[in-house]
Structure 1
Amino acid sequence: MGQAILQFGTSRFLQAHVDLFVSQAQDRGDAGQAIGGITVVQTTTNPASAERVAALAAGGGYPVRIRGLRHGERIDETITCRAVRQALQADAHWPALREAIASDVRVIVSNTADRGYQLDEADGPALIDDACRAPRSFPAKLLVLLHHRWVTHPAAGLSIFPCELIERNGDVLRDAVCFLAQQWRLDAGFVDWLRTRCIWANSLVDRIVSEALHPVGAVAEPYALWAIERQPGLVLPCAHEAMVLTDDLARFERLKLFLLNAGHSLLAERWLGDGRAEGQTVQQAMNDAGLRAELEAFWADEVLPVFDALGQRAEADAYLVDLRERLLNPFLNHRLSDIAQNHAQKKQRRLRPIAELAGQLQCGIAQPRLHAALASA
């Protein structure tokens, strides 16, 4: 029997978030807690990913070490994640992937990094009938597999959960796949099936996973959230206390983007501009009086007034209480150099929406730190 969950991506984040949620649900022993096991798919030729796939394919589970603070209490525990039952590499195991999508898969999960939705001109409609050759881009891989699903099981839709940190990620991925289907001049009935029988979930993931363990596994903080926009017909991969179904996903997105992500990028901006130590971590930055004062002033003067204008200040204050504890986590080796990767693009995604919303709401605040960061190269 195949697995009910097909996952694109082998990242340490997925290992310590979605995969761990499913494993913990399975460990409760109630068959209704999780819909089944996971088949993990490596979508790139990255050697590190290939090593993880080989370790996952060997079976036996992998460790997730949860380290940090929760309401002032120190947490340090290791959980064995056993949800991953199969591991494949897309190029090497494409026929097996086509077979999997045509059988027991009910849920698809993805986390394909910042550029995961980019298309590749080398992909074309001939791939639809090619049982052996995988497309290059993730949207094209997904399109070909979903077309095979439609041909073999036209009445059976799927729930698709992109976990990429893109606003309304489900809508964006659906539109990319449907655009490609129309560009390739595929059957109109199939395009309608993509839009109506497949449920594309908009969701937000929030957990700091600071380190990978070798060859597979991760170190993560105790805090975890998977906020999912409620939709009719949506099939969840599991039930878990960190999963929230909501009719207002934007409220969760703003808290994370404006406070956690923007705070990270402000610290990275200072790390880059000041030429600070290569190995400096978030926790060390939070214990630096000057950096901490700068971050607190950024939140207080340039971000919280936006939540005031939205009528959501109490939620933001409560989120900040947890966030300070998360950023002061003495266990996580969360380097500012990692946060500073793709810094220019991250600033546009994380900081510009704060400035734009402040303008729309006529908050009347200067936001000098935010605008200086956006103006720098």
Structure 2
Amino acid sequence: MSVTSAVPRLSDATLAALPAAVRRPAYDRAGTRIGVVHFGPGAFHRAHQAVYFDDLLASDPDWAISAVSLHSAGVRDALRPQDGLYTLALLDQAQADGSPALRVVGSIREVLCAPEEGAAVLARLADRDVRLVTLTITEKGYCLSPDGVDLQHPDIVRDLATLDAPTRAPVSAPVSAIGWLVAGLRARRAQGLEPFTVLSCDNLADNGGRLRRAVLQFARQSDPALADWIDTEVAFPRSMVDSITPATDDALRARVAAQLGMDDAWPIQREPYTQWVVEDDFRNGRPPLERAGVVLSDDIAGYDKAKLRLLNAPHSTLAYLGSLMGIEAVADAMREPALAGFVARLMHEDIVPSLQLPQGFDPDAYIEAILARFRNPAIRHLLAQIAWDGSQKIPVRLLGTIAEALAAGRAVDRLCLPVAGWLRFVRRQSLAGVAIVDPLADALARIGAATTGEAAHDVDAFLALDGVFGPLAGDARFVEALRRAYAALGDGSPAAVARALAA
């Protein structure tokens, strides 16, 4: 994250010197107010939610962001000298001269590092102007248990020790996100302020519901009255987010510096496509997110399911069938007509009929947007990486759709081909002695190494994985369809896969 001293640094003072082609904040940053605290200002947040708020600030100045890192000072140290400004490069969108489209984002007005600036973080959470707290901290960062918070997690144990009585002030700053949320809500209640809304933006099923249960369980451990107040007064809307955000590298830094004519310590990049769906459940006012293109819906589960089946399932399909064909990346796979055509048919003819779509959801437009994303040559998404953890992905991405299709009396032959592709992929890796990245790697390797290539033998061996196939293993219609698909892939060679795709 080093910068070169020979050229100016991106900041409020240098914004006016940016080239005309670079988009910059369409508002007076000094006239904005911080209304959002965000925990976890990594690349995804800065490429996604912060951009939506950047758009919103052009018409409503109340929703600037205080970005809080829970662990590392890296983001603060990179962005504070830049007044919170940073550059977003949109991959596969070009300016008139062919260089990537750049945008300087200004919605982050403050950058804090919680371990070093705990008092400032707590003061911001207790600020009357703050009405929304958002989070992108990954599932691990929530310290969750199946029914709430993991009370044995070291961070939770440590934070509870500082909040063990309602009349006792914390002796030190929290270390967990849950601890910070409860500390901030506790401070607001003590001052007679209305609470903020808490919005998880991580890709977790029922993210708002799970976060609510975790916060309530934590609060009840130290202050039941506070927990009752949170239960009654605080909203935890669910959300769904989507956009591919590759990591920043030195090549991006150099390209951005050349186009800006100045240094940016931490530019970011993402694909042009972005989606944010939020449950319309807020207290104490809410940002008019719809002005910035956010979809407000009461059916977040419907959007999650559509994404899982129409985005993730085709991804896995490309991963296994494309890998068998010797293809390395998603965009390369989409240049193979037989594979691209198969995936499109799978989505339109087999997956869409299984979905109960949210009101206003256009499946054809969504599918076309996904296929365009898959074709984007600027995003090199490796099939080998998507193929990881198949035993965890296949059940939720494909087997649920197959089960519903069988229940409705629909054919499942096409849906079974990517599942058979996974089995053939495991067989190939096992016989070649290549490690399988999967929680069930040992069991898969044993089964794969014992396969003979004969459909009934091999498929039945895999179906013994009850944790993967469950009741479907006993459905004769599924078993026969999977055997047919496995046999259609022949020896798993590129030519055999191509023939199966064209059948």
Query: What's the TM-score bracket when you normalise by the shorter of the two chains?
Result: 0.7 to 0.9
Measured in 2, the distance between the counterparts of 1:115 and 1:223 equals 26
1:295 aligned residue: 343
- 1:160: Cα distance to partner? 1.6
2:241 aligned residue: 205
Q: 2:310 aligned with 1:259, yes or no?
A: yes
Measured in 2, the distance between the counterparts of 1:5 and 1:314 equals 29
Amino acid at match of 1:204: M
Measured in 1, the distance between the counterparts of 2:48 and 2:340 equals 28
- 1:263: Cα distance to partner? 2.1
- Partner of 1:223, secondary structure, is coil
TM-score with structure 1 length normalisation?
0.81
The structure in which a higher percent of residues are helix is 2
Measured in 1, the distance between the counterparts of 2:233 and 2:182 equals 14
Check 1:237–1:312 CA distance in 2 against 1; reply closer, same or farther (3 A cut).
closer
Name which of 100, 107, 113 aligns with 1:89: 113
2:153 aligned residue: 121
Check 1:195–1:237 CA distance in 2 against 1; reply closer, same or farther (3 A cut).
farther
TM-score with structure 2 length normalisation?
0.62
1:161 aligned residue: 199
Paired residues of 1:139 and 1:177 also in contact (CA < 8 A) = yes
**1:212-248 deviations in whole A, cap 9, x for unaligned?**
3554232222222211122264512755342111233
**1:123-175 deviations in whole A, cap 9, x for unaligned?**
2322223242323x33233223322332233x411122111111221111111
Check 1:364–1:149 CA distance in 2 against 1; reply closer, same or farther (3 A cut).
farther
**1:2-49 deviations in whole A, cap 9, x for unaligned?**
8221101122111111111111222x3x3xx2423211111234xxxx
| Alignment root-mean-square deviation, CA | 3.4
Check 1:347–1:36 CA distance in 2 against 1; reply closer, same or farther (3 A cut).
same
Amino acid at match of 1:67: L
Q: 2:145 aligned with 1:107, yes or no?
A: no
- 1:117: Cα distance to partner? 2.1
Name stretches of at least 5 consecutive residues in structure 1 with no aligned partner: none
- 1:63: Cα distance to partner? 0.6
Measured in 2, the distance between the counterparts of 1:4 and 1:353 equals 41
Amino acid at match of 1:132: S
Q: 2:23 aligned with 1:23, yes or no?
A: no
Paired residues of 2:208 and 2:236 also in contact (CA < 8 A) = yes
The structure in which a higher percent of residues are strand is 1
Name stretches of at least 5 consecutive residues in structure 2 with no aligned partner: 1-31, 144-149, 164-168, 254-264, 427-439, 441-503
Measured in 1, the distance between the counterparts of 2:354 and 2:388 equals 27
Measured in 2, the distance between the counterparts of 1:252 and 1:13 equals 19
**1:314-339 deviations in whole A, cap 9, x for unaligned?**
83222111211121112233344554
Using CA pairs under 8 Å that are at least 6 residues apart, name the structure with larger relative contact order, 1 or 2: 1
Q: 2:59 aligned with 1:35, yes or no?
A: no
Paired residues of 1:19 and 1:83 also in contact (CA < 8 A) = yes
Q: Give runs of aligned pairs for residues 44-193 of structure 1, distance below 5 A.
A: 44-45=71-72, 50-60=73-83, 61-68=85-92, 76-103=100-127, 104-118=129-143, 119=150, 121-122=153-154, 123-124=156-157, 125-128=160-163, 129-135=169-175, 137-153=176-192, 155-182=193-220, 184-187=221-224, 189-193=225-229
* Count of aligned pairs: 358
Identity of aligned residues (%): 24
Amino acid at match of 1:36: W
Amino acid at match of 1:333: R
- Partner of 1:303, secondary structure, is helix
2:28 aligned residue: none
Q: 2:274 aligned with 1:224, yes or no?
A: yes
- 1:51: Cα distance to partner? 2.4
Q: Which has the larger displacement, 61-70 or 356-365?
A: 356-365
Measured in 1, the distance between the counterparts of 2:422 and 2:216 equals 33
1:317 aligned residue: 364
Paired residues of 1:66 and 1:222 also in contact (CA < 8 A) = yes
